[in-house]
Every structure is written in structure tokens, then in C-alpha cells.
Amino acid sequence: MIIVLKANASKEDKQRIIDKVHSLGLQTMVSAGVERSIIGVIGEEDKIRVQPLEAYPGVEHVIEVLSPFKLVSREFKPESSNIKIKDVTIGGEKIVIMGGPCAIENLETLREIALKVKESGATVLRGGAFKPRTSPYSFQGLGVEGLKIMKQVCDEVGLLSVTEVIDPRDVELMAEYVDIMQVGARNMQNFNLLKEIGRSKRPVLLKRGMMATIKEFLMSAEYILSEGNFNVILCERGIRTFETYTRNTFDINAVPAIKILSHLPIVVDPSHATGKWGLVTPISRAAIAAGADGLIVEMHVHPEEALSDGTQSLNPENFEAMIKQVGAVAQAVGRTI
């Protein structure tokens, strides 16, 4: 941590800060620069992170030099993590494809979709039972009934399931029905939910918040790991920017950046990242080319009738074609599908 003093900071100001740092068991190194003094803090930065040193007289600003995350960092664990769930491994050489509807609508439709997902070679079925919707008047999902349908279909067809959890009270229940619990973008900083999931030890797909920095995203993963659950799959799904042509701006830089910063696997959601089904296939190819470990894609047998987000859903033909194209790119970057 670096404390930059104001040009007009007094000797007393400087001494007061140095004393404070020492009182926390840390050391200081003072540099009397040409324009102003700078105090370097040596030791475990964590101890001082919560101290509002900027509120001290004479301080201009404080700069953190170390990353605030520990367990998620590649320095903590240099080799990439693989998450194994039944016969599927996420984070290995093989790209994982998750497909399915935005929301679970009924047994027949989900079964029909699941069969198409399976046929296309994907291994995980997605679909929401609890839907966080901007409007209280929109379809909010089938709830527990949806979970039961999900489980039945996955058992029948032979797919893993991933579905969103939005309430800490539901974590235990979800664990009975689904293989991977998803934390949605809106809940990325719902810390009590993260803690419950951390304690559950179940695999979790953590989506990046639409206005979260990469660092904040990794800090939210840290919440889960710090409770002892290392089965975390990160998911980049687009961030909010000034651009309105697409629903979100897909931050593809985050894919290789996270590969450098963390050992956790990362998948990409091209459906929410674009909001337009016509962009989903090229963006899926790009995600794999950039190094993503998998995709979570909206697919529906009748996108134009879907109860939510049909605009960004592929139909089965386009879903299959997308997987073929992604397969070619995967091979070009030394992976398989």
C-alpha cells in the first residue's frame, strides 16, 4: 500500500500516519520526493485495507498495490482447476456446452429441448425455475415445480443440469434437484447467498454482474471459496455500457485476463452477452478462440413462443450448427468438443 501525501502535508501529519501504520504491526518506508512525500507500507496489506487512511489529515490518496483476492488467484494455485461433476469435467481440454431455455415452461417442452441438446453433443441442460425479472408483472418461473421437471428430464435424457438460485433460503432445496447451481448477474454481490452456496460445497456457476469489474467478480468467487467450496465455474455474460445496439457488451478481454489471474475455469454466455440470436454463433466461436472453457447458450424448440428471452435463443438447427463451428475453432486452439 502506498500513501501519497499532499504537497502541503505537515511533519505532524506524516508522523501521525506512520505511527498508525506501526500500531498495526506493519513497517513503513518513507520517500521524500521532489514534489511530495510518499509512504510505502510493508507487510500484510490486508491488515490495513479497512483503515480509511485517506481520512487522515495530509493524505492525498492511497493506492493499493496487491490484489485483494487470495484463494481464487493463480498465485495461490498455479495449475488450472478442473471441476468434475459426474462424467463431465469443466476446465480441461474438452470444451463444455450447456444449452436450454431461458425458463422452464413445462415437462413436454423441456424434454423436447433436452433431446435436441443431447443430440447436438452438449452435456448440460440449462433452464430457470426461479427467474429474477425486472418487472413484478413478468413471468417469474415455475419455482419448485420447475426444479422437479428439470430433474426428471435430466435423469431421462442423461444430461447434467444447471439452474439459477436467487434466495439463500433455497440453497438446500436446490441441492437435491440440480447438479450446478447458478448465481445470476444480479446476485453476484448477494453475499449471504454466496456464503450459503459456499457452505453447501455444491458446484456453482457464478455469473459476472453486469457492472462488476473483473476484480469484484473474483472477490465474489473468493466468498464461495473462503467457505470451503472450490467447485466454482466463472461465467462472463456481458457488461453494461453505453452501447445500445446489443443487450450487453461482451467483455471478451475478461476471458484471457481471468486465465492469467485465476485458476478457476471460465465459460461464456453469448446469449445474454449479445441479446440477439444472430450474433450468438460468431461470438461463441470467438469465446472459444479466446480460451474459454465452455459455453452456456439459450436454445428453444420454438424461440418465438418462449416465455422469456426468445429473442436471443437459437433454434435446434442453429444450435447444432453453432456447435459444429465451435468445434472447428476448438481444434484450431488445441482443444476438443
Distance from C-alpha of 10 to C-alpha of 246, rounded to nearest angstrom: 52
Which triple of cell numbers denotes residue 207? Answer: 455469473
Residues 168-227 contacting its own copies, CB under 8 A: 168-169, 186-187, 189-192, 195, 209-211, 213-216, 219, 222-223, 226
CB contact burial 272-300 (16+ within 10 A = b; e otherwise): bbbbebebbbebbbbbbebebbbbbbbbb
> Closer CB to its own copies, residue 22 or residue 169?
169
Asked if 13 interacts with its own copies (CB under 8 A), we say: no
Least distance in angstroms from the C-beta of 231 to its own copies: 17
Asked if 24 interacts with its own copies (CB under 8 A), we say: no
Residues 31-50 contacting its own copies, CB under 8 A: 31-36, 38, 40, 42-44, 46, 49-50
Q: Which of 24, 106, 139, 172 binds its own copies (CB under 8 A)?
A: 139
> Closer CB to its own copies, residue 61 or residue 84?
61
Asked if 325 interacts with its own copies (CB under 8 A), we say: yes
Q: Which of 11, 23, 79, 137 binds its own copies (CB under 8 A)?
A: 137
> Closer CB to its own copies, residue 116 or residue 154?
116
Residues 89-128 contacting its own copies, CB under 8 A: none
Distance from C-alpha of 306 to C-alpha of 104, rounded to nearest angstrom: 9
Asked if 19 interacts with its own copies (CB under 8 A), we say: no
- The set of residues, in sequence order, having a beta carbon less than 8 Å from that of 11 and lying 6+ positions away, is none
Q: Which of 90-98, 152-160, 172-180, 278-286 is the region at the interface with its own copies (rule: CB under 8 A)?
A: 278-286
Asked if 134 interacts with its own copies (CB under 8 A), we say: yes
CB-CB contact of 213 with 219 (8 Å): no
User: What DSSP line would sit under 165-231, residue for residue?
Assistant: ---GGGHHHHHHH-SEEEEPGGGTT-HHHHHHHHHH---EEEEPPTT--HHHHHHHHHHHHHTT---
Q: Which of 88-96, 105-113, 117-125, 167-175 is the region at the interface with its own copies (rule: CB under 8 A)?
A: 167-175
- Closest by CA position to 72, among listed 298, 226, 242: 226
CB-CB contact of 320 with 284 (8 Å): no
